[in-house]
Amino acid sequence: MSQSISFSASESEKLEKIFKHYTILKGGLIFLDQVEPTGLSYVQPYNEIRHSVDHLSRVILYKLGIHAPTDTTDYISKQLDKAYAHMYRAMYDTLDLLGLTIKESISVKLDPFSVNTKHTVMPEFYTKILPRLYTITEKEIVSLRETKDVGDDNEDNVVALNDLVAEMGGMLTYVNNHMPSLSQYEAGQHKSVIKERWWQLLLALIGGGVLTWLIPNIWNAFQYIPPK
205-223: pLDDT as tens digits = 565 555 554 455 544 544 5
Query: What pLDDT does 152 receive?
Result: 60
Residue 148 reports pLDDT greater than 60? yes
Label residue 185 by pLDDT band (50, 70, 90).
Answer: confident
Q: Is 70 exposed, middle or buried (0-12, 13-18, 19+ CB in 10 A)?
A: exposed
Query: What pLDDT does 163 receive?
Result: 93
Query: What pLDDT does 34 receive?
Result: 84
Residue 132 reports pLDDT greater than 60? yes
Average pLDDT over residues 62-83: 89
5-38: pLDDT as tens digits = 899 999 999 999 999 999 999 998 888 888 876 6
Look up residue 197 and give its amino acid. Answer: R
Return the domain boundaries, the chain.
9-181
Cα distances (angstroms) measured from residue 144 to each of 8, 85, 96: 32, 17, 10
Q: Residue 200 and residue 194: Cα distance in Å, rounded?
A: 10
Query: What pLDDT does 224 receive?
Result: 44
Q: What angle do CA 58, 64, 67 make, to 5 degrees?
A: 45
